[in-house]
Amino acid sequence: MISRVLVPMDGSEMSEHALEYTLAAHPDAEITVLTVVGEPSPLWGEATGLALADDLEAMAEEHAEAVFDRARDLVEASDGEPTLETVVELGHPVRAILDRAGDHDAIVVGSHSGSLADRLFVGNVAEKVVRQSPVPVTVVR
């Protein structure tokens, strides 16, 4: 039985679909929504602000709050009684997801089908998680 589910969310529509699927398929599960804020690089437009922040962790939390607010809205609108935990990590998405995978019974991740850049980056994340996860992974489109 699946009682603890990890749902990585990045603010995209597909990651919201992953949470909606999780809420429907596992209405009473303990759900951890994980948002990974990439380590800053001058090549990443929005992340550049993180690189210049005095308190990187506080800035990452602030950045993730919009994602968490949407996750809370989806949970409140669901029919079940899930427990929601929100976690923000700094670093590489695949590594952060896999580091937390063992504490869960399953992972539900969204797969992007948008632009080529979305498919290469986020699709690549989903593919790597599927290949390396120690727990079952459901990919939602």
| DSSP class per residue in 46-90 | THHHHHH-SSHHHHHHHHHHHHHHHHHHHHHHSSS--EEEEEEEE
What pLDDT is attached to residue 38? 74
Q: How many other C-beta atoms lie within 10 A of the C-beta of residue 130?
A: 15
Extents of the domains making up the chain = 4-140
Provide the 8-state DSSP code for 1. Answer: -
pLDDT at residue 4, rounded to an integer: 98
Q: Which amino acid is at 20?
A: E
Residuewise pLDDT in 10s, the chain (141 residues):
899 999 999 988 999 999 999 999 999 999 999 999 876 544 444 544 455 556 778 888 888 999 999 999 999 999 888 999 999 998 899 999 999 999 999 999 998 755 555 555 546 888 899 999 999 999 998
Q: Indicate the burial class of 118 (C-beta count within 10 angstroms; 0-12, 13-18, 19 or more).
A: middle
The whole-angstrom separation of Cα 9 and Cα 18 is 8
Distance CA 106, CA 124 (A): 19
Does domain 4-140 fall under CATH 3.30.70.120? My reply is no
The whole-model pTM stands at: 0.85
